Amino acid sequence: MSKSLSERLSSVSHPHTVVVHPDYRSLIPFIESLPVRFARGEGVLVYKGRNELRRLEEGGRAYVVKSFHRPNLVNRFVYGIFRPSKAKRSFDHARKLLEIGVGTPFPVAYLNVRAGLLFDRSYYVSCQSACAHVYYELFEKKFDYEEEVLRAIGRVTAILHEHGYAHKDYGRGNILFDRNADGTVRIELVDLNRMHIGPVGLKAGCKNLERLPATPQMHRWLAEEYAKMRGFDADECCRLMAAYRSVQPGKVDGLY
C-alpha cells in the first residue's frame, strides 16, 4: 500500500514517526527509546542476522521488538518518501490477520526513524506470543498432538488464502503453535512484512507451503484440511504440495 500525500509530507518533516495501538499509548516513551535500547544491547537477544529481534520488558510486560536493517541508499530515499516501511507493513498485516481470524502476536506499535530526508531504520513491536513452540520443533522432538498441529496449519493457511493473503516467507521459523487448555491447537504467524495480497488459487496456494519441511504423512494432513476449507481435491493438493517441496522455488500464478 503506497503512502498518502499527508503521510509523505509528515514523514519528510519529522525525524521519526510513531504509530501505537490505542490501548498501548502509555508506551510511546518506551517506543521512542528503542534505537537507544538496541544500541545498548538491552533485553534478551532472540535473533540477530540481517534484522535483529529482542525481547524487552516495560511496565511488567514482555514485548518482542524487531529492528529492521538499514536499507541501501536508493531504498532509503524510496522508503523515506514513497513506500511504507517494513515495520509499518508488519503492523498493518498483523492487524488484518487478527481481523480475519488468523492468529499472530498482538501488534502494539511501529517506529520509523529518519536521518534528514532519508529513511534510516524501523522497529516493529508486538506482545510476546503465548505459543511455546515453533514449527521446526516438530522434527526435533515428539508431540502427541502433531496431527492436530498440521491440520490446524492447513486450516489457518486456507483462511489466509481465502481472504487474498499469502505469507511470502512461510518457513519453519515463522509458524508458532501450542495446545490450549481445552485440547485445541493454537497457531500464530510471525514475520509478516512480506505478504502477497491478491487472489490465491489452487497451485499458488499449495506452492505457498513449499518452504515447510514435511513427511508424506504431514503433507497429507495439511492437504486434507486445506482442501476441505477451500473446496479443493485433497489428493491433488497433497500431490502439488509434495511436488513443489521437491523442486527449486519458482514463480507460480504471480504469487512471488
Domain CATH number, residue 16: 3.30.200
Closest by CA position to 37, among listed 111, 115, 108: 111
Percent pLDDT > 70 in the chain is 85
pLDDT at 73 over 80: no
Cα 22 to Cα 33: distance, rounded to the nearest angstrom: 19
103, part of any domain: yes
Closest by CA position to 203, among listed 233, 174, 224: 233
- Residue 250: the pLDDT is 46
Task: Tell me which residue range forms the domain holding 146.
Answer: 133-245
Across the chain, what does the average pLDDT equal?
Answer: 89
pLDDT at 1 over 50: no
Residues 10 and 123 in one domain: yes
223: part of which helix (H) or strand (E)?
helix 216-230
Cα 94 to Cα 105: distance, rounded to the nearest angstrom: 8
User: What residues contact residue 21 under an 8 Å CB cut-off, 6+ apart?
Assistant: 106, 107, 108, 109
Residues 13 and 123 in one domain: yes
Cα 24 to Cα 255: distance, rounded to the nearest angstrom: 35
pLDDT at 13 over 90: no
Residues 117 and 221 in one domain: no
The count of domains in the chain is 2
Final residue belonging to a domain, choices 104, 127, 150: 127
251, part of any domain: no
The 10s digit of each residue's pLDDT in 110-168 is 999 887 777 788 999 999 999 999 999 999 999 999 999 999 999 999 999 999 999 99
Residues 241 and 138 in one domain: yes
Final residue belonging to a domain, choices 63, 96, 127: 127
* 133, β-bridge pairs: 177
pLDDT band, residue 83 (cuts 50/70/90): confident
- Residue 74: the pLDDT is 56
Q: What secondary structure does DSSP assign to 152-185, as a single string?
A: HHHHHHHHHHHTTEEETT--TTSEEEEE-TTS-E
255, part of any domain: no
Least confident of 40-54, 79-93, 119-133: 79-93
The 10s digit of each residue's pLDDT in 215-242 is 999 999 999 999 999 999 999 999 999 9
109, part of any domain: yes
Cα 238 to Cα 174: distance, rounded to the nearest angstrom: 22
pLDDT at 31 over 70: yes
- Residue 7: the pLDDT is 52
Residues 123 and 9 in one domain: yes
Closest by CA position to 124, among listed 207, 51, 202, 221: 51
pTM of the model as a whole: 0.88
